[in-house]
Structure 1
């Protein structure tokens, strides 16, 4: 897996959730393109080939970042 930046991954996850929800409520071609784009970015950023794998890998990135913060005594969510 790539050494993905946790803040970037968090941003992608937020975008993915937002676009997926909007697409499920009102599927348009524009939202499909946005969903495809953010899905591609998630896969590329996590070194995976499917959205399912990318989401699991992204969770791992965030879990490792949280563990590193707790080990260093920094409880801020920015890392």
Structure 2
């Protein structure tokens, strides 16, 4: 599978979060909502996922600084 360059992933993730904040304050069917949906689709395409949450998770683990043995998706054992 092709992998997106880390700079592309960082830019898409930053764009997604910025638009998500703006969308929270916007009305339905706003231009911000359409841009947010575009950012979601782009994230899904570059990460090979079908869901924005999975795309964000995947992008997080592909970005520089992600730990090789990062188990943050696993529950804690007590």
**Superposed pair shares fold, TM > 0.5:** yes
Deviations 1:16-49 (A, max 9, x none): 0010000001235211110110000000000000
The TM-score normalised by the length of structure 2 is: 0.75
| C-alpha RMSD of the superposition | 1.5
Deviation (angstroms), 1:8:
0.3
> More helix per residue: 1 or 2?
1
Q: Which residue matches 1:19? A: 19
Q: Which has the higher contact order (CA 8 A, sep 6+)?
A: 1
Paired residue secondary structure (1:66): coil
5+ residue gaps, structure 2, are 67-78
Deviations 1:57-78 (A, max 9, x none): 000111xx336xxxxxxxxxxx
Cα distance in 1 for residues equivalent to 2:14 and 2:50: 19
Cα distance in 1 for residues equivalent to 2:56 and 2:27: 22
Cα distance in 2 for residues equivalent to 1:27 and 1:3: 35
Cα distance in 2 for residues equivalent to 1:25 and 1:48: 27
Deviation (angstroms), 1:2:
3.5
The TM-score normalised by the length of structure 1 is: 0.74
